[in-house]
Amino acid sequence: MSIKKKTYVLTVLAFLVWGILASLLAGYYYYSYGDVLSKTQKPIVTVNIGVNYGNGTVIWHNGTTVMSGGTLLNVTMLVADVKYTLWPGAGAFVDSIDDLANSGSYYWMWWMYTAFGWSQVQVACDRYIIGDNETYYWYYEDTSITPLPSPP
Amino acid sequence: MDNPTIYNDAYMNTRRIALLSILTALSVAIQLAPRFPSVESTSLISFTVGVVFGSWTGAFLGALVMFANSYLSFWGLAGLNMPFQMVGMGIIGLVGGLYGKTIQKGEIVSKRNIIEAVILGAFLTLIYDILTNFGFAVQLSLFTGASLWLAFVGVLITGAVFAFIHVASNVFLFMVAIPLAKIMRQLTR
């Protein structure tokens, strides 16, 4: 490949990377803005939280009311004793709930009920802004199983 | 040698095998260590190995590291995303080899080559992210019943910040790809 052709190809690639990344980031901020806006329309929100301790015990905290704009971590701390570690860039990683700590392949995972059933949200609980009438589920489960078992 | 095989001096010698083994182990170890999300060095090592040892060696190293990573990662099992990760990292090694062929002998470390490697690194990282996001969307679509297209767009948008961090960090890491290739070449001569 001649130097001229190589320069041309690499310039096109550089612009392609810039264009795609800029579009994705614009899409992300557009989506995030709309999401936060819709979740903060009401001053108070009501959510349901289930905690499954992995031994057959499931405790539901239905109708928990909190100020809008709060995160799942905030609301979980209202109903349970939560210990967590803050990871730079990634957010809060829950180490234990009600003194039941992550151990071996068992970790606290969080799920949300959606139109498609239970969905695992790929974001840290302190990064997720809660919405009115949403249902969350903390599940102490074996993460070595693929696909991860959804709440029963 | 009259009858060259992959074990003879034309392709592999003891030093090369030793270096490749160390690099593979190092890549797996870095992948498994707790680290900042989306910052990794496997793509840099696969690309550089591709430049020095050829496309197939680079692709094999990248795919092998992602295979091990998919079972042992700190972030959990890769599951159905594993083949997408392997292909993505394989492509990085493969392109590294193709790029290595375009470098003139003796001019391996020039400012021009470093800039070229950085641009290629950014592009290949983005391709890797798009591929693995597609893999995640396939998984999401299968288990939730959502349309694949919708899941893919959703995953791409929600993962945009991670893609940005990945590309930006690799822009910096790939600055050392060419000097590193020169060192590897000298070590295995």
| Domain residue extents for chain A | 1-39, 43-142
The answer to whether residue B7 scores a pLDDT higher than 90 is: no
Could you please report the per-residue DSSP string of chain A?
--HHHHHHHHHHHHHHHHHHHHHHHHHHHHHHHHHHHHHTSSSEEEEEEEEE-SSS-EEEEEEEEEETT-BHHHHHHHHS-EEEEEETTTEEEEEEETTEE-BTTEEEEEEEEETTEEEE-SS-TTTPBP-TT-EEEEEEEETTSSSPPPP-
Residues B124-165 have pLDDT tens digits of 999 999 999 999 999 888 877 788 999 899 899 989 999 999
Tokens for A86, please give them: 């803050």
Long-range contacts of B34-38 (CB under 8 A, 24+ apart): B34/B74, B35/B74, B36/A88, B36/A89, B36/A90, B36/B165, B36/B169, B37/A87, B37/A89, B37/A90, B37/B75, B37/B162, B37/B165, B38/B162, B38/B163, B38/B165, B38/B166, B38/B169
The answer, as to whether pTM is greater than 0.80, is no
A116 to chain B, closest Cα gap in Å = 5
Residues B57-102 have pLDDT tens digits of 999 999 999 999 888 776 666 678 899 999 999 999 999 999 998 8
A vs B, Cβ pairs < 8 A, gives 72
- pLDDT in single tens digits along all 152 residues of chain A: 677 888 899 999 999 999 999 999 999 999 989 988 888 888 999 999 999 999 989 999 999 999 898 999 999 999 999 999 998 877 899 999 999 999 998 999 999 998 878 888 878 999 999 999 999 999 999 988 767 788 88
What lies within 8 Å, CB to CB, of A24 at 6+ separation is B156, B157, B160, B163, B164
A18 to chain B, closest Cα gap in Å = 9
**Residue B6 pLDDT grade (very low, low, confident, very high; cuts 50, 70, 90):** very low
Residue B93 CA to residue B62 CA, distance in Å, equals: 6
Maximum Cα–Cα distance for chain B, whole Å? Answer: 59
Domains of chain B: 14-187 (1.10.1760.20)
CB contact under 8 A, A14 and B122: yes
B70 to chain A, closest Cα gap in Å = 11
A59 backbone φψ class: left, alpha, beta (φ>0; ψ -120 to 50): beta
Topology adopted by domain A43-142? Ferric Hydroxamate Uptake Protein; Chain A, domain 1 (2.170.130)
Residues in chain B whose Cβ is within 8 Å of chain A? 36-37, 76-77, 79-80, 102, 115-116, 119-120, 122-123, 126, 139, 143-146, 156-161, 163-165, 167
